[in-house]
Structure 1
Amino acid sequence: MSRYFNIFFWEYDFYKPQLLWLLLVIPVLLFFWEFLQKNRTGQLKYANSEKEQLAYSVKWVRYIRWGITSFYAFSMACLVFVFAEPYNNSIDPPKIDYKNGIDIILSIDASGSMLAQDFDPNRLEVAKRVAKKFVDSRKGDRVGLVVYEGEAYTACPATLDYKLLKEQISAIEPGHLEPGTAIGSGLGVAVTRLRSDSLISKVIILLTDGSSNTGPEPLEVAELAKAKKCRVYTIGVGADGMAPTPVNTPFGVVYQNLPVEIDEGVLKEIASATNGKYFRAQDEKSLEKIYAEIDKLEKRKMEDQHLAAEPPLTLFPFFIWSMIFSLIAWGVQRLKFKLDD
């Protein structure tokens, strides 16, 4: 029963919090009320002003008046809280079902530059390691894998078989496709792998360390993703400056310090067009934080869409206490001061 009389306002949220500014008016009203009471005479049984009453050694009258004023203040404050429309989510928290409705496709760049060693041991191995941790963090979501270089293919369709998916992630290696970085192809294949009947969310996490140099125009594919209501999170992988990068030469593969060239402008536009977000990962730790943030963003979107209705108003506690405080103040006035009619 105590929750029905709970007026600990810090435990509530308010639909109209701007009305709480009215609390500042209460001290002003009480000041004028007290000023008038001090200067009124002849109405109360203890007639004349408060100063004259004190001269007759009735000091307790002042404390009773302060008590009455305080109770009226509490009553008005409770009414202000009523007008601000309080609600308390902790009483009946919404039940969130995480088992159905989300499809996620990981689209990972496997071009030769992903073997650059500005990550330990290289970008691709770190991307694979962190992606597998992300898969382990999902609960009941279908997750798939697209791999791309100069072209793209589906390494694993969206599935709940996370063991199989992680095996496919581990198997990613460069050199199995045409050379190059076809961001548009990686995004396009991912869009086609998302089921049209996903109920809650369709998400693509596209990771690359470079700029598109072959395949379809990425921004055109982004419009297709937008039309199919796919949200795309883009991740640019690579440290600032130069990075030891493998280069094919007549004498075999050698590592040269080459500039990190991520087309962040295109990645940002892809994310913006699809209501996603762009991230930059400069080391393994930052990449882990990015996946963790994406995880939180998607769970928050699920919760927002699972809330069938706004939480109910919780007016009763504040209203009933407003009445109680008013009745106490009024009753003390009638019993102790015997107001004349």
Structure 2
Amino acid sequence: MEFANKEYFLLLLLLIPYVIWYLMYRKKTEPTVRLSDTHAYRFAARSWKVTLMPIQLLLRLAIFVLLVLILARPQTHNSWKNKSVEGIDIMMAMDVSGSMLAEDLKPNRIEAAKQVAAEFIAGRPNDNIGLTIFAGEAFTQCPMTTDHASVLNLLRGVRTDLATRGLIEDGTAIGMGLANAVSRLKDSKAKSKVVILLTDGSNNRGDLSPMTSAEIAKSLGIRVYTIGVGTNKVAPYPMPVAGGVQYVNIPVEIDSKTLSEIAAATDGGFYRATNNRELQNIYREIDKLEKSKLNVTQFSKRYEAYQPFALAACLLLLLELLLRLTIFRKLP
């Protein structure tokens, strides 16, 4: 918390003469009873009202301090600020074609990929991370950002039914997915620019071949790490039928040759994940990438925070008035 008008704190100096005045002159204003001889009262105990009477002074001092704090305008400390952190720029390109529903990974390929990707994102808080999804076509699900809460939220919303709903063409456009991710990195100033491309098939759609996209990535200094996800032969795939789901075995057609060539051309790496643990280990290995300086601009709103002080001042004022008119009431 910070104060916009700190000069009002000088008013607190007025407390000193007030306390001195109260201690020196308060007895002159207190009512007294004249007696010819007070010898009989020399051992009389002080009443609890007399003992507690200084509480009025403390309440008035507290009220004055709270009023000064309100005048000083307390505010939450929220503003634009720039800072340098260690990080790299990463675009994650994820296959969302219908075959990603195969259940050779648990619960299925797409959910396993999302879970491991979420853990990867959470473990790299200083990186600029974005998300591209592709099937027969590709588009950016989330541009690069350090706001990882937004990335994770959009990642959770990734589904494989985009093609069945007619939103994009089904298939596997690896070249288009890679090109989309590369386009988001082309203006990056980071020393390390990386694409992590995950797919379970071979390129069969799109206007760009995977190797053409790889050459573009290479020319821009972008390393591509490719991951082929799925078992080596066949995988169980849920087929909807009347009244339920029937599982059929579909062949696994991962173009390992093309994926390894993409990785080799860009000084990246090619990995195969046939189960959940292997997929986790792959992301851990990629997590060891070098880091570079990254300038981050953070923004948050500024809020006035006088309300708690004003409420406390009102309550103390009411308490002081109540005590003065009841327990500490003085008769003329």
TM above 0.5, yes or no, is: yes
- TM-score normalised by L of structure 1: 0.57
Give the corresponding residue for 1:163: 149
Q: C-alpha displacement at 1:198, in angstroms?
A: 2.2
Distance 2:84 2:125 in 1: 7
Cα 1:262/1:136, change in 2 over 3 Å: same
TM-score by length of 2: 0.58
Q: Give 1:39-58 correspondences, 5 Å limit.
A: none
Q: Tell me the amino acid that sits aligned with residue 111 of structure 1.
A: S
CA shift in 2, pair 1:120/1:102, >3 Å: same
Larger radius of gyration: 2
Decide whether aligned partners of structure 1 residues 111 and 248 sit closer, same or farther in structure 2, where only a CA change above 3 A counts: farther
Aligned runs of 1:1-341 on 2, under 5 Å? 99-100=85-86, 102-176=88-162, 177-215=168-206, 216-247=208-239, 254-296=246-288, 298-299=289-290, 302=292
Q: In structure 2, what is the Cα distance between the partners aligned to 1:98 and 1:143? A: 16
Give unmatched runs, 5+ long, in structure 2.
Answer: 1-82, 163-167, 294-332
Higher helix fraction: Structure 1 or Structure 2? Answer: 1
Checking the alignment, whether the CA contact within 8 Å between 2:102 and 2:108 is kept in structure 1 is: yes
Between the two proteins, the alignment pairs up a number of residues equal to 205
- Report the residue type matching 1:199 in the other structure: A
One-letter identity of the residue aligned with 2:226: T
Aligned to 1:93: none
DSSP 3-state at the match of 1:231: strand
State the alpha-carbon separation in 1 of the partners of residues 269 and 150 from structure 2: 28
Output the CA distance in 1 between the equivalents of 2:210 and 2:84. Answer: 31
The Cα of 1:251 is off from its aligned counterpart by 9.6
Q: Is the 8 A contact 1:248 1:254 kept in 2?
A: yes
Q: Which runs of no fewer than 5 residues in structure 1 stay unpaired?
A: 1-96, 304-341
Letter of the 2:204 counterpart: N
CA distance in 2, matches of 1:107, 1:234: 9
1:148 deviation in Å? 0.4
Match of 1:269, as an amino acid?
Answer: E
Q: 1:149, 1:179 within 8 Å by CA — same for their partners in 2?
A: yes
Q: Say if 1:183 and 1:251 are closer, same or farther in 2 by CA, change over 3 A.
A: farther
- Paired with 2:125 and 2:225, the residues of 1 have a C-alpha distance of 19
| Structure 2 contact 136–173 (Cα < 8 Å) conserved | yes
Contact 2:186 2:220 in 1 (8 A): no
Amino acid at match of 2:197: L
Q: Name the SS for the 2:85 alignment partner.
A: coil
Report the CA distance between 1:141 and its aligned residue.
0.8
CA distance in structure 2 between the aligned counterparts of 1:98 and 1:180, rounded to whole angstroms: 41
What is the letter of the counterpart of residue 206 of structure 1? L
Over the matched positions of the two proteins, sequence identity in percent amounts to 48
SS at match of 2:287: helix
Distance 1:261 1:136, change over 3 A: same
Aligned-partner Cα distance in 2 for 1:228–1:290:
24
Amino acid across the alignment from 1:174: T
Cα distance in 2, alignment partners of residues 135 and 193 from structure 1: 17
Residues 251, 281 of structure 1: CA spacing in aligned structure 2 closer, same or farther, 3 A cutoff?
Answer: same
Aligned residue identity for 1:126: A
Kindly tell me: are residues 195 and 102 of structure 1, through their superposed partners in 2, closer, same or farther at Cα, counting changes over 3 Å? farther
Q: Between Structure 1 and Structure 2, which shows a larger proportion of strand residues?
A: 2
The residue matched to 1:243 in structure 2 has which SS?
strand
1-side partners of 2:286 and 2:111: how far apart? 20
Change (3 A) 1:231 1:121: same
